[in-house]
A and B are shown apart, each in its own frame.
Chain A
C-alpha cells in the first residue's frame, strides 16, 4: 500500500489530483490522505509515514514552503519526497521551493498525465 498525503485547499483540485493518481496506478494500491490546509497536514503527518507528500504552495496560515521546511526538519519525514503544485507565477517561489528540498515542482494547470508521471518518478526514486 502506497500512502500519499495531499495538502490542497481547493476541494475541486483535491478531487482532480486524487482522480488522476488513482487512474494512473491501476495496479498500485493507493491510500490518499487529504488535508485542506497546513494545520490539517501538521495533524496528519504524525500518522505517517507517507511515501509521498503533494502540497499546494499558496494556502492560508501555513504555506506549502513552510510545510516543506517542517518536513525536512522532522526526523520522521525528512526523506519523504515532496511534490509542490502551484500556479505560482513567481520564479522566486519556485527556486525557493527547490532550495528548501522540494523534489519536484508542477505548475498548475497540469494534465493528469503530467501529475501521474511526476508522482511515479518520486515514488520510484524513493523505493
Chain B
C-alpha cells in the first residue's frame, strides 16, 4: 500500500466516523425537538461534522461528497444561526443525508464514479431548503462586553450571543483558572454544571495564568439566573464571576479595552525548560487508528507464546521429576510469571479490539425511523446496554442480521394502528433492543409487542413446503415449532397475512449469526409479542478450549460451549424415540457419538470413555469422547479453502507439541443433532 492509498483509507475511516457521529447527533436532535427543548450546541456539532467532511472531500477530490456537504452545510448554517426553524421536514432531509453519505462512501471505497441519483436529488432538495431561509437580525450592542471577547466570536457564537440577549437573558463574565493538564475534563464538568443555568458562549484564554502549568479562560455566559445563584453553582476558588453591565441608553462610548493589535515586538523569551523538551512532543494526539489485521497478527503471536508457555510448564515438570528440584522450582516460578504476564497481554489486546454495540444500534435507530414511516406504523424504539462491548469483527457482522430482525418485527410483528386499537394495545408499537454481557457471552435481544407468531399456521406452512412430515409435525415441542422459522424455504411470502410471519430470510440471519459463533433463539406468545435472543461470544480471537481425543484424533471444544464432563456409563444409556440419551441429574440428555457424526474412520475404543456436556443457550448435548486431555487457550485459525465446507468444525489450532487440533463448532453440531426436523440430519440420524 503506498502513501496515497494509506491517506485515502484514513480519509474513508475518518469520514465513516464523522458520518456516524452526525447520524447520532440527528437522533439526539430529534429527541430534544420532540421533548420541546432546544439544544443549539447539537446543531452546531452537526454543522461542524459536515464542515469537516466538506474539507476532507475537497482534499481528496470526492466531488459528490463535497457538493452534498456544501449544500448540507448551508442548511445547517441557517439552522444554527436561527435563520431557519428546525422541523420534521428538515430533519427528514438531514436523516436522508446520512444514508446518502453511506452510499457515497461505499462507492468511493470501491472507486466507482457512477452517478448516484439519490445524492443528486438530495442536493437539489437541500438547495431549495436553504434558499427559503430568512435573514438574521443585528447584534444588540447594549452590553458592555469586552471588545477583546467580541473580537474572537465566530459568526455562530455571535448569533448565540444575539439570541440570548434578545431573549432578555443576563450576561456574565467568568474568569476561571484551569490546570493545563486537566482542562478538558474540568471544562466539561463546568459546562455540565452551567447548562442548568444557561449557555457558555465563548472561551478566550486570557494569557494571565497564575503559573506556567495553569491557564486562565475568560468565559462569556448567558443565563436567566442572578449572580448569587450562579456563584452558588459555579463559584469556586479558581472562578471569578461578574455580571456584564448593560449600557445606559444613548451612551455609546466603548469602554477602554485591551488592544487586540499586536503590541510592539519585545525580546522573544525562550520558555523555561524549552531546551529540555525540545522535540520531545512530536504529537500529542492521543488516539491511533489500527487495522484490525494488525491486532490479529498480535493475537497470533500471543497464541504462539501460549505454546512456549506450555513447553515451559512441561520442562519444569520434567526437570523436577528428574530429581533436580531446585532448578525445577526455579523454572516453575518463571513459568508462572510468564503465564501471568501473558494473560495480561492477552487481555490488553482483547480490550483494544472491543467496541461498544452502540455503533450498530445507532444505525438501527435510523432504520427504525425510516421503515416505520414507509409502512405507516408508529414505533417506539427502546435501547438498553448500548455500551456493552464486543469484538470489532463481530460488530461488523451483526449489522445485517439485526437489521433484518428489526425489519421483520416492524413489517410482520407490530400490527397496524387499527388492529392495535381493536385489541386495546397502545397505538405506538414498542421494539426493545437490549444488550448485556452474561459470562463470556454477549446477549442481544430484539423484542416487540406485536402479534406474535401463529404456531399452527407455521407448522401447516412447513408441512406444505415439504420441510416436515405430518406425523413429525404432531410430535414437535413448542420451542421446536418456533424453530421452524429458521428453516430455509420457510418464507412468509405465500402465507403473508395468515400468520405474522418472520420467515423472511430468517435462515440467512441464523447462518450469519452462526458464522460469528452465535446462536439465535425465539420465544413468542400470540397476541403479546415476539422475542429473539442472540447469544454471541465476546471475541473470536482467542478461546479457552477443552482438548479431547477421539478415534486417535485430537480435537478442541471451545470452553464457552462446555458445561461439564462426566465418565461415560454405557449401562445408563436409554433409547428414547430411537435416539440414545443419558439421564443426568434427572434431566434427559441426548447423546451424540461424535466419531459417527464426523465420519471418522473406526478405531479401537478405550475401556473408559467420557461424556462432554456441550450447551449453548437452552440447548444441551452429550458428546461421547475417548480421552480428556486438558484445558488450553487456543487461537482458532481458519481451515484452508478446501476444508471450509466441512461442517462441524470452526477451524484448526496448534497445540504446541507439534500437534494440530481441529476445533469443533459446537453451535453447528448442536444444531444438527438437535434440529427439530429431518432436514440437515442426514448424518446424525439413524445412528441412534
Contact = CB atoms under 8 A, between A and B. Distances in A.
Contacts of A33: 281-283
A61 B215 CA distance: 14
Interface string B187-208: 1000000000000001111110
A76 B204 contact: no
A68 B207 CA distance: 11
Nearest to A9: B52
Contacts, number: 159
B282 A34 contact: yes
Instruction: Label chain B's interface by main secondary structure.
Output: mixed
A100 interface: yes
B204 A99 contact: no
Interface in A1-54: 9-16, 19, 31-37, 39-40, 42-44, 46-49
Given A16-B59, A34-B283, A79-B265, A48 B151 contact: no
A67 B206 CA distance: 10
Contacts of B204: 66, 69-70
Given A76-B271, A99-B151, A109 B58 contact: yes
B180 A43 contact: yes
A90 B154 contact: yes
B56 interface: yes
A103 B271 CA distance: 23
A16 B289 contact: no
B262 interface: yes
B207 A70 contact: yes
A5 B51 CA distance: 22
B277 interface: yes
Interface residues of B, number: 60
B269 A62 contact: no
Contacts of A66: 152, 202-205
Contacts of B260: 69, 72, 99-101
Interface in B207-224: 207, 212, 215
Interface in B637-662: none
Contact of A75 (B58, B205, B266): B266
Given A11-B285, A31-B279, A57-B154, A49 B274 contact: yes
Contacts of A39: 180, 183-184, 187
B290 interface: no
Interface in B144-179: 148, 151-155, 157-158
Contacts of A92: 155, 158
Given A11-B10, A12-B11, A16-B59, A76 B268 contact: yes
Given A31-B279, A34-B283, 10 more contacts: A10-B55, A43-B180, A43-B284, A46-B212, A47-B277, A65-B154, A78-B262, A87-B55, A96-B154, A109-B66
16 contacts: A19-B3, A33-B281, A34-B284, A42-B180, A61-B184, A61-B187, A66-B152, A67-B205, A69-B151, A70-B207, A76-B271, A87-B51, A99-B260, A100-B151, A101-B262, A108-B55
